[in-house]
Structure 1
Amino acid sequence: MTPRVHARIAAGGGVIRRFQLLDLGVSPSEIRRLINAGALVRLRRGVYTSRELWESLDEYVDRPLLLARAAIATMQRGWVLSHDSAAHAWELPILRPAVPLVHVTRPGFTNAWTEYGVRHHLARFSSRQVQQAAGLPALDLARTAVDIARERGVADGVVACDAAMQRGVTRGDLEDAYAIMAFWPGVRAAREAVDLADPGAESVHESLTRLLVIDAGLGTPETQFPVRTAAGVRWCDLRVGNHIVEADGHTKLRPVAEGGVAPRPAHEVVAEERKRERLLKDEGLGVSRVYWEDHWGARRAVAIRRLQREAAETAALHGAELSERLAREADLIRAEYGERRRRPGMPA
């Protein structure tokens, strides 16, 4: 692996094709030797990357995106990234599919097939929906979110649509994206996902927690609800009636240097959360906490029953409808500061 080969891999966004290796003077026997020695990783026929680069990438986004880059490099006839692959290129948070695939789309009558790890879609789209993401042609954010909803269902679609709206996509943009899909497979899931989408959900965990609250029959929760407490304003993930639902995860406990958001040691963050919960309860609110594992399997049913029980206890203590005082205070806080998602410096 010469410096020129490494430079060409870097220039190609992490991939190099066989003919490019040959152009650099690497013989066919040397290519085979590099593959057998593990210096070159074959991404697909005739497309490679370096072992160092491959091992440095995470398995959830970066490796799938590199595989998509390799696939699109060998394709012609107007293929563009779509669905999960477009989401990775846009850095749009989505749920990991059961079977990760590269997704590409080109114009044609609605159809799809899978071959060699690539899901090929034929579908209509306009030229304005094709943009550059990570240096690759990809369908835009709105179309990507709607396509994920059609392909994978409401929950995956809500996560994608929430994330797209966080990036500035409007509900109207999402509705326009599915307008041409009247009789396409999965369009009903896309419509429902768009209808449920909320830009106030600031993470995948919060999107799933919002769906958990809805499935528990507690109503549609309000996102990013501000409460003025004795220690200042506190912003809550979700609210139904006088009940707060917080989406708790390891990210809140992990230091910023390790990819989390915790500005202090974990034990201090936990202590602060306990104080925060007490402050909220002092204002006449009940609090439930939902953890990542509560969204899956048998834990989901247990979490729903717990939410129902805790919300009922809050309603018995403080009433089923949000108190006029808290509603009035929330309006005043938002009038003064705007939405928390637009003001990252506001207190948590």
Structure 2
Amino acid sequence: MGRNRLLFRTNAVGNGFDDHALQRMCKQGDLARVRPGVYATPGDAATDITTRHVIAVHAAIAKQRTTAVVSHASAAAIHGLPLWDLSLARVHLTQPGTAGGHTTRRRHQHTAHLSPVQVTEVDGLPVSTVARTIVDLARTEQFDRAVAVGDAALNNAMTTVDELLEEITRLPGRSGATRARAAVLAMDPRSESIGESWSRIVMDRAGLPPRELQRVIRVNGDLLGRADYFFDEHGIVGEFDGRVKYSRQIDDPRDPGQIAWDEKKREDRLRDAGLEVMRWTWADLDAPCRLQGLFGSARTRASARPGSHHRRRRPVRRLRSPATGSPPNHVTESCAHRCRAGSTSPRAP
């Protein structure tokens, strides 16, 4: 089937197969139909949604009759970036032109003039560069989704803020430039997961005070750990608990129970040092008021601790800060309204 493990009907017919034989192989489980005229092995077709989308991208490019570049969410999938709630129902391609693109059930065809520096090759496919991909997402997707993908690209050193800002200047007619710039300036390479990115955005919406990311905490020379977020003024360590927090990790031989126990001991050491720990989950991010309540409770506990004088000693060492500062508050929706309206935020895997 070739290096992409795809079987095209035209090739199959040329090798003596007919449509009845292909249909019979699908019924028997020997083949799986990816799209009209394109097949893959059942194992490939049954993998996760991102891998299936990558297969669909290879198939779309192979059947594309005009010059096109993989772009937008499809390019993000090819680059291996996390796709938090981005739709993969259609393959996104960009072809030269100035007229508006069009969509079908399986394809979203964009039009734009991409220069050679905006295109790279991945697994034999012409793909928009990481910088161009992030900017395209920042122009067309929801603010928080674009920021989460951009955070991941920055965290993995796949691009830089300067490259993203430079890419914005290349937009034809500066289409969506203001929206893209706002998202780029809110990105932070210190966020290590979608959950941390989303938490940061919700904190801004909730009006929580300034905090630092990935802060290394030492007391009297002893390393207590690294905090996802640190509210120095209030002596509060913020930790996001994703669903995989205590699951067995590939690179962590400890069982989930041991991981949870070690985390508890770490929290005890932080509290003994006069710090308070604030934890939240995906459910708490559904509305900013929930995070406000958790922070308020943590602040009350922190102020009552006898060891709260640690803030004057500042027994904390900073990690190297990125070029960008804390993201601005781009959302003015009231917390009370969000709580009354209920949650609309999706959950990341």
TM over 0.5: yes
Note if contact 1:223-1:239 (Cα within 8 Å) is conserved in structure 2: yes
1:130 corresponding residue in structure 2: 119
Match for residue 216 of structure 1 among 203, 206, 223: 206
| Alignment of structure 1 residues 310-325 onto 2, 5 Å | 310=297, 312-313=299-300, 316-317=303-304, 323=311, 325=313
Match for residue 250 of structure 1 among 222, 231, 243: 243
Aligned partner of 2:300: which letter? Answer: E
The yes-or-no answer on 1:264 pairing with 2:245 is no
Note if contact 2:208-2:292 (Cα within 8 Å) is conserved in structure 1: no
The yes-or-no answer on 1:200 pairing with 2:190 is yes
2:17 corresponding residue in structure 1: 26
Q: Relative contact order, CA 8 A, sep 6+: which one is greater?
A: 2
Over 3 Å counting, the alpha-carbon distance change for 1:265 and 1:81 in structure 2 is same
Shift, 1:236, TM fit: 0.7
Whole-angstrom distance in 2 between the partners of 1:101 and 1:127: 25
Note if contact 1:229-1:279 (Cα within 8 Å) is conserved in structure 2: no
Whole-angstrom distance in 2 between the partners of 1:166 and 1:176: 19
Over 3 Å counting, the alpha-carbon distance change for 1:53 and 1:208 in structure 2 is same
| Alignment of structure 1 residues 283-294 onto 2, 5 Å | 283-294=273-284
Between structures 1 and 2, the one with greater helix share:
1
Over 3 Å counting, the alpha-carbon distance change for 1:251 and 1:83 in structure 2 is same
Whole-angstrom distance in 2 between the partners of 1:14 and 1:324: 62
| Alignment of structure 1 residues 1-348 onto 2, 5 Å | 8=1, 11-55=2-46, 57-59=47-49, 61-97=50-86, 100-109=89-98, 111-168=100-157, 169-181=159-171, 183=173, 186-229=176-219, 232-241=223-232, 242-257=235-250, 262-296=252-286, 300-310=287-297, 312-313=299-300, 316-317=303-304, 323=311, 325-326=313-314, 329-331=316-318, 334=319
TM-score by length of 1: 0.81
Taking only aligned residues, the RMSD between alpha carbons, in angstroms, comes to: 2.8
Whole-angstrom distance in 2 between the partners of 1:160 and 1:92: 7
Whole-angstrom distance in 1 between the partners of 2:294 and 2:174: 36
Over 3 Å counting, the alpha-carbon distance change for 1:214 and 1:255 in structure 2 is same
Whole-angstrom distance in 2 between the partners of 1:273 and 1:141: 35
Name the SS for the 2:244 alignment partner. Answer: helix
CA displacement 1:140-189 (0-9 Å, x = unmatched): 11111121121112101110110111121111011112113375554333
Whole-angstrom distance in 2 between the partners of 1:325 and 1:139: 49
Whole-angstrom distance in 1 between the partners of 2:308 and 2:194: 28
Aligned partner of 2:185: which letter? Answer: D
Whole-angstrom distance in 2 between the partners of 1:219 and 1:63: 42
Whole-angstrom distance in 2 between the partners of 1:293 and 1:186: 32
Whole-angstrom distance in 2 between the partners of 1:264 and 1:37: 42
Name the SS for the 1:264 alignment partner. Answer: coil
Note if contact 1:15-1:70 (Cα within 8 Å) is conserved in structure 2: yes
CA displacement 1:82-108 (0-9 Å, x = unmatched): 111111111111212256321111222
Whole-angstrom distance in 2 between the partners of 1:307 and 1:109: 50
Q: Which runs of 5+ in 2 are unaligned?
A: 323-349
Whole-angstrom distance in 2 between the partners of 1:215 and 1:23: 59
Over 3 Å counting, the alpha-carbon distance change for 1:222 and 1:17 in structure 2 is same
Whole-angstrom distance in 1 between the partners of 2:218 and 2:203: 24
Note if contact 1:212-1:295 (Cα within 8 Å) is conserved in structure 2: yes
Aligned partner of 1:265: which letter? Answer: D
Aligned partner of 1:84: which letter? Answer: A
CA displacement 1:269-304 (0-9 Å, x = unmatched): 1121122122222333222112123333xxx24522
Shift, 1:322, TM fit: 9.2
Tell me how many residue pairs correspond in the alignment: 317
Whole-angstrom distance in 2 between the partners of 1:153 and 1:39: 40
Shift, 1:206, TM fit: 1.0
CA displacement 1:226-259 (0-9 Å, x = unmatched): 00147524111112333221111232311124xx
Aligned partner of 1:272: which letter? Answer: D
2:341 corresponding residue in structure 1: none
Name the SS for the 1:294 alignment partner. Answer: helix
1:342 corresponding residue in structure 2: none
Aligned partner of 1:249: which letter? Answer: G
